[in-house]
Amino acid sequence: MTKRTQSLSFLITGSLLGIFLLQVYFGYQVYQKHRLTIQRELTAALDEAIDRADARRISTINDLFARDLRDPELVRLEIRVEEDQPKVFIISPQTGDIHVSIFFPDLVDSVAAVQQMEEQILERNRALLVEGSIMYWTDELGKRLITYSDSIQISRETLRTAVARELDSLDIRSAFSLVLEHDSLAAVPDESLFFQHQRLPAKVEGNNLVSILLAQPALEVFRRAGLVFLMTLIILLLMVAGFWWLLKLARREARLSRLKDDFIDNVTHELLTPIATLKLALATLREDNNLPKPNKYLAMSEQQAQRIAEVVDHVLKVTFVDQQQAGITLERVNPNAILTEVISYYENHAGATITVLPAKDIEVDTDPHHLQNVFHNLVSNALKYGPEHPELTVRVKTLPQSVTISFTDNGPGIPPSERDSIFEKFHRISEGGTHDVKGLGIGLYYARGILRQLGGNLELTRSTAAGSTFTVTLPTTEV
């Protein structure tokens, strides 16, 4: 797997993991939201059910109190007028003591008034019972009310029926259980399986606290938020499938690219021997005195053989950069000397003017063979793509930790739209008729790639209609 494919895989994996974690977090938040909602609904349902059941219990107690209130052996009611207002006195028949006296402004001394008075006493007694208080209307009535309150309690079945009705109204379908204080441990062997519950007071068969628990709370949450979780799961599955398919395509493309590179590498290596043999045969023919001289066909054959050799050499260089082969040999060299050797190769170029401005002697640790190839590429491009009379100025500058070699030509410049692409493999500028010049579009790609392997770099530092400047940077070695 190439570095580009590995980087793509890491990027996709990181993105997928990030989205997956976001989806999990979103799902968790949805779960918690519905969980708290159900908890509140359970508490409200239990509270409402207890209120309804307790209201029936209080009605029963108040009915018994009404029966006692009408019993003359237990209580006597008298209406007297004091301070110009009717007043009801509740008197114990056994002792004749007055226990309670209440003003009733609207009462008159009649049978209807007595019935109205009883109704108001019963209503007030009900209100006190709801508040949890016992009123001693007389000693005997107070004792009876305490007995009724302690003995008359809410049955489990009554409360369960009331809770079931409330849960049904809230669309909670999961099975539930009511847990009383004294048997909560027996009813809930593993409380972690249930929602955290709230204990509410209730007069249920001698118990003071009641809790409600769902048997399958998580199932209730998923039933409510099932569509959200289903969509989240589908999205995650689609992302995983897309990632797997994309990675499969990337690996397939990488394998095909590797096979193509291996094929090109094998073909170019296979061509080296016949090219060398062909050049040797042509050189031998040139020395043959039996052939006419000059021989244009022989010269043409030598020129084309050299052209083939250069193409094969370029392809091998690109393969070297792509595979980052362990064939770099670092030596301490003077870049001025290598540059002088390269410039001398082109000094007879027709109409060309090459000016070299060297710096003081400085040494760099680099591969002289590859550095020479880089210089050849840059000088050759300046002459090939320049005007009829190309001019090239080469400046060597020393910096504290590096040396720069800039190549400034007088060519047509590089269009702004092409400046980011000229270092890509096989890229050639499509404007200005530059395709008329022979080339494979791999020279700058090779030059920058090999320089970076050597610890340096190649940059386009200037480009105008009057020419371009390419700058080579190499790390220096102290002499």
29: in domain: yes
Which of 135, 83, 79 lies closest to 110, judged by CA? 79
208: in domain: no
Are both 372 and 453 inside the same structural domain?
Answer: yes
Are both 342 and 463 inside the same structural domain?
Answer: yes
- Count structural domains, the chain: 3
Mean pLDDT in residue range 422-448: 71
Are both 259 and 384 inside the same structural domain?
Answer: no
Distance CA 96, CA 329 (A): 126
Say if CB 479 and CB 362 are below 8 A apart.
yes
Are both 368 and 427 inside the same structural domain?
Answer: yes
For residue 458, what is the domain's CATH number? 3.30.565.10
Are both 463 and 394 inside the same structural domain?
Answer: yes
177: in domain: no
Are both 285 and 338 inside the same structural domain?
Answer: no
pLDDT of residue 471: 95
Are both 29 and 105 inside the same structural domain?
Answer: yes
Are both 292 and 407 inside the same structural domain?
Answer: no
Mean pLDDT in residue range 92-106: 75
Please say which residue of 116, 151, 186 terminates a domain: 151
Are both 344 and 427 inside the same structural domain?
Answer: yes
215: in domain: no
Please say which residue of 151, 166, 181 terminates a domain: 151
Are both 28 and 80 inside the same structural domain?
Answer: yes
125: in domain: yes
pLDDT of residue 113: 67
pLDDT of residue 193: 41
Q: pTM of the predicted model, to two decimals?
A: 0.48
- In 45-145, DSSP assigns E strands to 76-82, 85-91, 98-103
56: in domain: yes
Distance CA 133, CA 131 (A): 6
pLDDT of residue 310: 66
Mean pLDDT in residue range 90-108: 74
209: in domain: no
Are both 308 and 366 inside the same structural domain?
Answer: no
Burial of 431 (0-12, 13-18, 19+ CB in 10 A): exposed
Q: Which structural domain range is residue 361 located in?
A: 326-475
Tell me the percentage of the chain whose pLDDT exceeds 70: 78
Predicted confidence band of residue 406 (pLDDT cuts 50, 70, 90): very high
Distance CA 243, CA 237 (A): 10
Are both 289 and 409 inside the same structural domain?
Answer: no
Predicted confidence band of residue 456 (pLDDT cuts 50, 70, 90): very high
For residue 275, what is the domain's CATH number? 1.10.287
Q: Is residue 419's pLDDT more than 90?
A: no
